[in-house]
Amino acid sequence: MSNILLLLACLIIGILLRGRKILPDNAANVLNTFIVYVPLPALTLLHTVNVQFTADEALPILSAWLVFGASFLFFNGLKKGLGFDKLTVGALTVVAGISSISFVGFPIFELLYGAEGLKLGILMSQSGTFLVCSTVGIATVSVYAASGEKVMWRKILRDVFTFPPFAAFCIALFLRLVGYQHPSVISDVLSKIGSTLNVIALISIGLQMNFSSLNQQSKPLFWGLFFKLCLAPLIIFLVFVVLLRQHGTAVQISILGSALGSMNTIGIVAIRKGLNPNLVAQMIGISIPLSLVLLPFVYFLIKNL
């Protein structure tokens, strides 16, 4: 409950700061740059070094990759029929294709499934949604941001490998390979630096929410929310339960995680690259609280799987 109140409070603060013009016009860009270069790499170093993975816990990780792939196919398949431009298609692909697991999912998974749910949530976040964001997510943003330009794959790869959280992820993987574990003091420092992420990210999104453009964005917003909150969990259910005949907590976590609202991290990256910033901000600001309203119904339907 506290995370939901924090979400609403930060969005409202951002909207009020924007409306009263208290901060400079480029304040959101400054905050977004800070997020990418400071708290995100800190959290990556903190969690990736310590996370453990076994083959029987692969489903939540796989679900994140499946949802992103489905999002790419869905919005690219519909773009001509719906009349969406390239920037809108790119924005919808990344924000509807990646869930907010660490911010929204962790407390929900722990509440519903205890320590096992939290462990699966961490795996789904670090090796699933976060890795999707740092690799194919960044690549997708770079491709669609190059609107009207020839796609330069060398530049795309440079964007991926110079993305600070991905660089931190590579460093953390190396540290795991050599058997390194964070001393408690280092973990504490990284945790405190990373704790600034959600407040700053959500205030930044609030700064960029423009409800005067809601009418112009209603069509892509509808399709983005429809995919994120309805189609994504349905796809995971069909693949894991109907096709693969898998059951248990890992399957339920996978479905619930797919039904959560959009990840603010990839939203920040998309906004920085100019992928329909108003739509991205509205998708995050609306999909997260709306997903929390719908989540009890999803849980009721899947709790006996």
**End-to-end Cα distance, the chain:** 26
Nearest residue to 235 (alpha-carbon basis) of 95, 66, 56: 66
pLDDT one-digit tens code per residue, 107-124: 678 778 887 887 788 788
CA–CA distance, 249 with 251 (Å, rounded to integer)? 5
**Tens-digit pLDDT string for the chain (305 aa):** 566 677 678 878 888 888 888 888 778 778 878 887 888 788 778 877 766 666 557 899 999 999 999 999 999 988 878 888 889 999 999 999 999 887 677 767 877 888 788 778 878 887 889 889 888 898 898 888 865 555 566 777 777 778 787 788 888 888 888 888 889 999 899 989 988 877 887 787 777 666 665 666 788 999 999 999 999 999 999 999 999 898 888 999 999 999 998 988 888 888 888 898 889 988 988 888 888 788 888 988 888 77
The pLDDT assigned to 255 comes to 95
Distance CA 65, CA 169 (A): 17
What are the pLDDT digits (tens) for 157-168?
A: 777 778 787 788
Closest CA to 203 of 47, 29, 12: 12
Local structure of residue 5 (DSSP, 8 states): H
Say what the pTM is: 0.78
Q: What is Dmax (Cα atoms) for the chain?
A: 55
User: Hey, CA dihedral for 161, 65, 72, 215, is it positive or negative?
Assistant: negative
Distance CA 91, CA 50 (A): 32
Structure confidence at residue 55 (pLDDT): 59
- Residue 150 confidence (pLDDT): 58
- Angle (CA) 298-300-303 rounded to 5° is 100
Tokens of 243: 């096709």
> What is the C-alpha separation between 62 and 246, in angstroms, rounded?
13
Tell me 274's DSSP state: T
Domains observed in the chain: 27-302 (1.20.1530)
